[in-house]
Amino acid sequence: MALTDVDRDLCARCLTQDPVAWREFVDRFAGLFAHVVRHTAQARSVSLSASDVDDLVADMFLTVVVDDMAVLRRFKGRSSLATYLAVIGRRIAVREITQRRFAEALGHVPAHPQPAAPDSSRITNAELVEQMLAGLGEKEAAVVRGYHLDGQTYQQLSRSLGLPENSIGPMLSRARQKLRDSGLVVSS
């Protein structure tokens, strides 16, 4: 399938950092990324929770925006944009699933995680959250504080902070990773 004018225009507008274009991009390709994650996991006989799928989709969008949207800058238009993004998404999913299996084999994570309570990813220890906030930027800190201490949803945070709803998850994931890297433990 060839590149459509709609996708060509969407890419061009995203590269000019048009926030409306980015929201359109996320709306247009979130389902594709989620499908790629689920299909890749199923093909490898790996069970993923909805949270795992969301995290991988967020990683895919993060990959798109890294280095001033280098992924979109490298797109040559020789295929449809959806095909190009599906290939990139599959590579990310395969890498993450492989790393997870490797970690399970080494005993670093449980091979069969227990189902989590709905809000198990929230950190309720205010002291731990304050440690987490120390190395974060202002917006990331506001997201972490709102989610973990105030119990706000992604939608509430998006409205109150003026951020795209789909950027909340990646911000929280980055903050959790910083906390893990600092030696503190966070539930995922």
Of 3.40.190.10, 3.50.50.60, 1.10.260.30, 1.10.10.10, which CATH number belongs to 126-181?
A: 1.10.10.10
Report which residue type is found at 23.
Answer: R
- Per domain, the residue ranges of the chain are 5-105, 126-181
- Domain at 5-105: CATH code: 1.10.1740.10
Dihedral sign for Cα atoms in the order 136, 138, 143, 145 = positive
* The overall pTM is greater than 0.85: no
d(CA 136, CA 48): 29
What pLDDT score was predicted for residue 98? Answer: 84
What residues contact 34, with CB distance under 8 A and at least 6 apart?
Answer: 53, 57
Show pLDDT as tens, one digit a residue, over the chain (188 residues): 677 889 999 999 999 988 899 889 999 999 999 999 999 988 888 888 888 888 889 888 888 888 888 899 999 888 899 999 999 999 999 988 888 777 666 655 544 444 444 444 455 555 655 666 766 778 888 887 887 777 788 888 888 988 888 888 888 777 777 666 665 544 44
